[in-house]
């Protein structure tokens, strides 16, 4: 919470934040506003639930794996309105999940209101970093946000802020956890010699955040048709591919708390997805935009037959090119432009990015030549280097068991696989982009649009006792966290403590959190024991090792 508290302190120096929204004007709709009241056509499925809707050429359906699939086309405002008409309930539910998580992190109403004023002030120039096309699209969509959250700001500006959530989440690490891993292989490293890419998008904002995944197919009136994976109400590109075989995925880099806003990374990558066909074109678009956090953009290109990483910070841009027909991207920079960057060097030394980078390379080396089935297995890997048991959910693992989604691309074949819940361990559903855009525009009946024969089966692990124990651990973890955040709550009973430790025995974090609980209760002997046990396991970061040693030293002083 340190980052949030720092920003709250800054607010105390500001006295005129209330009118930031009022001082900004939203754009005028570039389209027919009477469409806002159009009736959506709904088709009842066998379960008698309306899981297929359509209006004009646009449609929304829920597939047999629980993924929401949407098709949109036309002009920007028109696309945004149709999105909102079709998905208004999904958008309202998603916004509720998002703000519920923020209220959980900042339960004090006064502090939350101050935080919202800071966001309003900080993002006062955010609209200027969205190109007019995306302003119109979001304007149309924002009409369907919930009235329930109007206290958080006018809907259009709220929608813009939500599109910067990934950036703010990774700048203020207490809000969301961002630690993604991706890779690309081609030539002698893939089974058919063609480019193949895989990634986990580990963006966590509470358990409910990833329940409804959206696979959006968009044919805009300008640019290249594309698909992207996101959540209801979000039109940025965290993972996506266009029909020319250009892919984008984003991985957070080490950032300072930004002094000013810029283009959200997902809006930049959306522009790349819509307007670039080659790596060179992607680099040019990236260079033309100013961002406010540091990010790695893994770009794959069917036309170039390879992938590169565009590394971008608020001050400079670099490009990492591999000479080995394979590259790995985690959460640190690799290009010459950032070789002497002190923040990046510290990040490599003290965070878990380098560990995951090394584990990914180890898995790729042991797999030799990869195809989509091998990629799925790699993305689901839950162990540490050399197969070490590091506990389920450890951020040093490729599969941190909190991913919003996993995704696999074969750009030259126009194929993409998207994981169904849970995390990246549900079935990977395959789509052929050429078929989707050719055959499924303007659906009026509920039809499957995926390639059934290419479905990757779900991970058998989700049916094991260990997985059920992990889910139990996560629930118990919430109980421990609540008590660590509020010392006035009742103490943990012995049964809860024993279950918390037993349901994920190889994980350092249960010992660490329990130790902090004892430390806050001034039970120093018990705290010292748990800190010592945590140090015998794979602790995620050097920062946590330092914190454990510091508190352990205090415990020993108190005991003696």
Q: Decide if pLDDT at 325 tops 90.
A: yes
Overall average pLDDT of the 439-450 stretch: 95
Q: Decide if pLDDT at 10 tops 60.
A: no
Give the C-alpha separation, 474 to 490, whole Å. 20
One domain, residues 352 and 470: no
Q: Among all chains, which residue has been given the structure tokens 């480019």?
A: 195
Q: Decide if pLDDT at 471 tops 50.
A: yes
One domain, residues 360 and 319: yes
Overall average pLDDT of the 432-458 stretch: 97
Provide the CATH number for the domain around residue 14.
Answer: 3.60.60.10
One domain, residues 339 and 455: yes
Q: pLDDT band at residue 125, thresholds of 50, 70 and 90?
A: confident
Q: pLDDT band at residue 177, thresholds of 50, 70 and 90?
A: very low
Q: Decide if pLDDT at 456 tops 90.
A: yes
Task: Look at residue 207 in the predicted model and tell me its pLDDT.
Answer: 73
One domain, residues 350 and 325: yes
pLDDT single digits (tens) 392-438: 999 999 999 999 999 999 999 999 999 999 999 999 999 999 999 99
Strand 68-74 with 214-220, pairing = parallel
Task: Look at residue 7 in the predicted model and tell me its pLDDT.
Answer: 38
Name the token pair of 200.
Answer: 């986990």
Task: Look at residue 487 in the predicted model and tell me its pLDDT.
Answer: 63
One domain, residues 139 and 79: yes
One domain, residues 50 and 185: yes
- Weakest-pLDDT range from 166-175, 193-202, 204-213, 312-321: 166-175
One domain, residues 263 and 282: yes
Number of domains in the chain: 2
3-state secondary structure 307-322: EEEEEECCCCEEEECC
- Write the burial class of residue 241 (CB in 10 Å: 0-12 exposed, 13-18 middle, 19+ buried): buried
Task: Look at residue 170 in the predicted model and tell me its pLDDT.
Answer: 58
Residues 14, 19, 23, 24, Cα dihedral to 10°: 90
- Among 410, 445, 463, residue at a domain's last position: 463
Containing domain of residue 506, as a range? 465-559
Provide the CATH number for the domain around residue 498.
Answer: 1.25.40
CA distances (Å), origin 388, targets 106, 362, 381: 36, 13, 11
CA distances (Å), origin 73, targets 35, 233, 243, 293, 537: 15, 16, 14, 31, 51
Task: Look at residue 416 in the predicted model and tell me its pLDDT.
Answer: 99
Task: Look at residue 353 in the predicted model and tell me its pLDDT.
Answer: 94
One domain, residues 182 and 144: yes
pLDDT single digits (tens) 491-546: 899 999 999 999 999 999 999 999 999 999 999 999 999 999 999 999 999 999 99
- Among 439, 463, 487, residue at a domain's last position: 463
Q: Decide if pLDDT at 174 tops 90.
A: no
Task: Write 488-493 long-range contacts (CB < 8 A, 24+).
Answer: 491/521, 492/517
Q: Decide if pLDDT at 173 tops 70.
A: no
Overall average pLDDT of the 107-114 stretch: 74
Q: Decide if pLDDT at 205 tops 60.
A: yes
Residue bearing the bigger pLDDT, 162 or 3: 162
For a pLDDT cut of 70, what percent of the chain falls above it?
90
Task: Look at residue 9 in the predicted model and tell me its pLDDT.
Answer: 36
One domain, residues 444 and 300: yes
3-state secondary structure 284-305: HHHHCCCCCCCEEEEEEECCCC
Q: Decide if pLDDT at 5 tops 70.
A: no
One domain, residues 454 and 525: no
Task: Look at residue 17 in the predicted model and tell me its pLDDT.
Answer: 41
Q: What are phi and psi of 321, to 5 degrees?
A: -120, 125
Task: Look at residue 208 in the predicted model and tell me its pLDDT.
Answer: 80
Name the token pair of 240.
Answer: 């996506």
One domain, residues 501 and 374: no
Strands (E), 82-213: 177-178, 181-185, 196-201, 203-204
- Among 419, 446, 463, residue at a domain's last position: 463
Task: Look at residue 168 in the predicted model and tell me its pLDDT.
Answer: 66
pLDDT single digits (tens) 40-78: 999 876 655 558 999 999 999 999 999 999 999 999 999
Q: What angle do CA 234, 239, 244 make, to 5 degrees?
A: 115
Task: Look at residue 488 in the predicted model and tell me its pLDDT.
Answer: 60
CA distances (Å), origin 238, targets 42, 202, 279, 326, 559: 30, 11, 17, 21, 50
Average pLDDT, the chain: 90
Overall average pLDDT of the 154-171 stretch: 80
Q: What are phi and psi of 503, to 5 degrees?
A: -85, -5
Q: What are phi and psi of 148, to 5 degrees?
A: -60, -30
One domain, residues 469 and 459: no
Q: Can you spell out the DSSP letters for 366-400?
A: HH-SB-HHHHHHHHT----GGG----TT-TTSS--
């Amino acid at each position: 919470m340190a980052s949030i508290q720092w920003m709250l302190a800054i607010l105390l120096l500001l006295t005129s934040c209330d009118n930031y929204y009022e001082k900004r004007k939203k754009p005028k709709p570039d389209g027919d506003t009477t469409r806002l009241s159009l009736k959506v056509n709904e088709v009842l499925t066998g379960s008698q639930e309306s899981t297929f809707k359509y209006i004009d050429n646009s449609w929304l359906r829920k597939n047999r794996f629980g993924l929401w699939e949407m098709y949109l086309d036309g002009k920007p405002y028109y696309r945004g309105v149709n999105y909102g008409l079709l998905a208004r309930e999904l958008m309202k539910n998603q916004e509720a999940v998002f703000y519920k998580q923020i209220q959980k992190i900042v339960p004090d109403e006064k502090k939350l209101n101050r935080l919202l004023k800071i966001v309003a002030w900080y993002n006062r120039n955010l609209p200027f970093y969205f190109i007019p096309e995306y302003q119109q699209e979001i304007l149309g969509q924002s009409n369907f946000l919930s009235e329930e959250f109007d206290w958080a700001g006018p809907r259009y500006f709220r929608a813009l802020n939500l599109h910067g959530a990934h950036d703010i989440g990774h700048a203020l690490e207490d809000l969301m956890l961002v630690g993604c891993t991706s890779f690309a292989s081609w030539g002698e490293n893939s089974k058919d010699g063609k480019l193949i890419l895989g990634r986990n998008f580990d963006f966590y904002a509470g358990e409910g955040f990833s329940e409804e995944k959206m696979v959006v197919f968009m044919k805009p009136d300008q640019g290249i048709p594309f698909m992207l994976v996101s959540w209801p109400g979000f039109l940025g590109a965290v993972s996506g591919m266009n029909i020319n075989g250009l892919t984008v995925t984003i991985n957070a880099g080490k950032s300072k708390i930004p002094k000013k806003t810029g283009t959200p990374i997902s809006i930049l990558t959306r522009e790349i997805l819509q307007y670039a066909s080659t790596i060179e074109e992607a680099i040019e678009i990236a260079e033309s935009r100013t961002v406010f956090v540091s990010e790695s953009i893994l770009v794959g290109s069917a036309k170039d037959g390879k992938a590169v990483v565009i590394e971008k910070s608020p001050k400079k841009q670099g490009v990492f090119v591999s000479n080995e027909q394979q590259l790995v991207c985690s959460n640190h920079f690799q290009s010459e432009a950032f070789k002497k960057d002190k923040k990046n060097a510290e990040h490599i030394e003290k965070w878990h990015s380098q560990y995951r980078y090394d584990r990914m390379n180890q898995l790729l080396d042991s797999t030799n030549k990869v195809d989509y089935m091998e990629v799925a297995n790699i993305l689901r890997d839950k162990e540490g280097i050399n197969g070490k048991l590091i506990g389920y959910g450890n951020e040093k693992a490729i599969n941190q068991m909190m991913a919003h989604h996993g995704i696999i691309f074969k750009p030259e074949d126009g194929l993409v696989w998207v994981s169904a819940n849970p995390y990246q361990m549900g079935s990977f559903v395959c789509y052929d982009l050429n078929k989707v855009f050719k055959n499924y525009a303007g659906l009026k009946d509920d039809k499957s649009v995926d390639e059934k024969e290419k479905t990757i089966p779900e991970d058998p692990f989700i049916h094991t006792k260990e997985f059920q124990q992990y889910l139990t651990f996560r629930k118990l973890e919430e109980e421990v966290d609540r008590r660590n955040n509020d010392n006035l709550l009742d103490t943990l009973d012995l049964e809860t403590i024993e279950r918390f430790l037993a349901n994920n025995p190889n994980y350092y974090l249960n010992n660490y959190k329990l130790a902090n609980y004892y430390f806050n209760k001034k039970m120093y002997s018990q705290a010292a024991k748990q800190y010592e046990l945590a140090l015998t396991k794979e602790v995620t970061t050097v920062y946590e090792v330092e914190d454990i040693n510091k508190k352990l030293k205090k415990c020993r002083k108190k005991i003696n």
